[in-house]
């Protein structure tokens, strides 16, 4: 099945993954380079699940090796397969799994779903991606973008990535994540670090501009919701429901965060920063007593709307995730899209974005035909062609 999915994405512009016959089992991350103008959607509860997963036997063996008390910054050694590891925790984890499974090739490291490198204009909607459970093996993410631009990931669920659930790195830019759910299950062992933007402090600060609106970070998410090195990060109407976490919103070197109308449930630690250029929290709410910090002034170069923060839990619990019945229909559930028309949707507007016909995001409407994408609080998304004379 993995090879068929790879072939479909390589050869077609619209790919529909139908879950009617059960889950898609993926033996190793499916990697794509220099692809553009693709739409990948799921129907009938399409779930893509990694073949490898953490078992109770593996987790018991990791406990016996005292993995959780080992250093994640120093130590290490040479594995029985000859590979060198610089961190003690990763070394113990990988060697324990090799000893228990007999897999010297370490297929566990490749237990992801999608990786896109230097790709542009990709839509991914209504998919459930399920990983093996997180642990420190230096493994792949469930979904990763490197050097990729103009992705829209919408109404997806990403669970149990062995490294991250969804990482965006290496000069990726102008990517949007909406109405998604990120979480973990009881498969999780450690390293529940969900969303990384920027892989090192040397990332170019001119890139990694990212919008994340109407997403849920849920059960067992511990860190990186997101954590960013570089980039302008806009967080709108997100719901943090991950009590007991270490840190949720985490700007670091050369990044700036605009966080608006986000809701933090009881027991959630909202924020920590290190070397950020700026961070603004506007109209956010926490069920615990907490004073949001501010530094500088952060803005974004597009027009958008947002809904009341008190509506966030109800709206997102109802509409986020793989809840679409017609994921190929953007903006009309009844399936009728008029190229140039007015639109009436009975819900508050969350975000409005403008694009040129070539797919580049622009700050305002320009003379001629423009693409306008509007995201509503009830989960609907409209995409229109608007003529400006």
pLDDT for the residue 202: 86
pLDDT for the residue 372: 80
From-to residues of CATH 2.160.20.10 in the chain: 2-53+111-319
Beta bridge partners of 251: 228
Task: Please state the pTM of the whole predicted model.
Answer: 0.86
Q: What is the mean pLDDT of residues 44-52?
A: 98
With 50 as the cut, is the pLDDT of residue 338 above it?
A: no
At 352, the pLDDT band (50, 70, 90 cuts) reads confident
> Which residues, in sequence order, are CB contacts of 14 under 8 Å at separation 6+?
38, 39, 41, 328
Beta bridge partners of 33: 117
The pLDDT tens digits for 225-263 are 999 999 999 999 999 999 999 999 999 999 999 999 999
pLDDT for the residue 330: 76
Structure tokens at 370: 């423009």
pLDDT for the residue 191: 95
Q: Token match 């839990």: residue?
A: 313
Q: What is the mean pLDDT of residues 131-147?
A: 98
The pLDDT tens digits for 372-381 are 887 776 666 7
E strands, 44-148, are 47-50, 77-78, 84-85, 114-117, 120-125, 128-130, 143-146
Q: Shortest CA distance to 89 belongs to which of 130, 27, 134?
A: 134
Contact between residue 231 and residue 196 where contact means Cβ atoms under 8 Å apart:
no
pLDDT for the residue 347: 59
Contact between residue 132 and residue 187 where contact means Cβ atoms under 8 Å apart:
yes
CATH code linked to domain 2-53+111-319 = 2.160.20.10
pLDDT for the residue 353: 80
d(CA 389, CA 386): 10
β-strands 227-228, 196-197: how paired? parallel
The pLDDT tens digits for 150-205 are 999 999 999 999 999 999 999 999 999 999 999 999 999 999 999 999 988 888 88
The pLDDT tens digits for 278-293 are 999 999 999 999 999 9
């Amino acid at each position: 099945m993995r090879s068929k999915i790879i072939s479909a994405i390589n050869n077609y512009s619209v790919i529909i993954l139908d879950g009617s016959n059960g889950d898609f089992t993926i033996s190793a991350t499916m990697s794509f380079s220099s692809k553009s103008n693709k739409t990948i959607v799921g129907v009938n509860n399409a779930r893509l699940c990694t073949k490898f997963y953490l078992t109770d036997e593996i987790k018991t063996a990791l406990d016996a090796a005292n993995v959780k008390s080992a250093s994640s910054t120093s130590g290490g050694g040479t594995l029985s397969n000859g590979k060198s590891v610089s961190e003690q925790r990763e070394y113990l984890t990988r060697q324990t799994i090799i000893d228990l499974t007999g897999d010297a090739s370490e297929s566990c490291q490749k237990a992801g779903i999608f990786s896109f490198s230097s790709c542009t204009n990709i839509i991914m909607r209504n998919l459930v991606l399920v990983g093996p459970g997180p642990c420190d093996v230096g493994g792949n993410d469930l979904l990763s973008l490197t050097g990729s631009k103009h992705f829209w990931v919408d109404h997806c669920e990403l669970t149990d990535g062995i490294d991250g659930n969804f990482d965006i790195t290496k000069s990726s830019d102008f990517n949007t994540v909406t109405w998604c759910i990120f979480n973990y299950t009881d498969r999780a062992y450690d390293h529940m670090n969900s969303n990384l933007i920027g892989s090192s402090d040397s990332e170019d600060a001119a890139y990694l501009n990212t919008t994340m609106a109407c997403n849920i970070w849920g059960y067992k998410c511990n860190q990186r919701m997101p954590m960013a090195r570089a980039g302008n990060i806009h967080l709108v109407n997100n719901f943090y429901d991950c009590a007991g976490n270490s840190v949720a919103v985490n700007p670091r070197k050369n990044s700036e965060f605009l966080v608006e109308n986000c809701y933090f449930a009881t027991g959630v630690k909202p924020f920590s920063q290190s070397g950020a250029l700026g961070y603004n929290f506007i109209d956010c709410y926490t069920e615990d007593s907490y004073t949001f910090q501010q530094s500088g002034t952060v803005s974004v170069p597009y027009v958008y709307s947002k809904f009341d923060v008190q509506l966030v839990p109800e709206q997102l619990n109802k509409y986020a995730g793989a809840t679409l019945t017609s994921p190929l229909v953007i903006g009309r559930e009844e399936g009728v899209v008029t190229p140039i028309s007015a639109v009436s949707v009975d819900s508050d507007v969350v975000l409005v974005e403008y694009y040129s016909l070539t797919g580049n995001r622009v700050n305002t409407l320009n003379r001629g035909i423009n693409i306008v994408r509007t995201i509503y609080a009830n989960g609907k998304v409209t995409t229109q062609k608007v003529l400006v004379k």
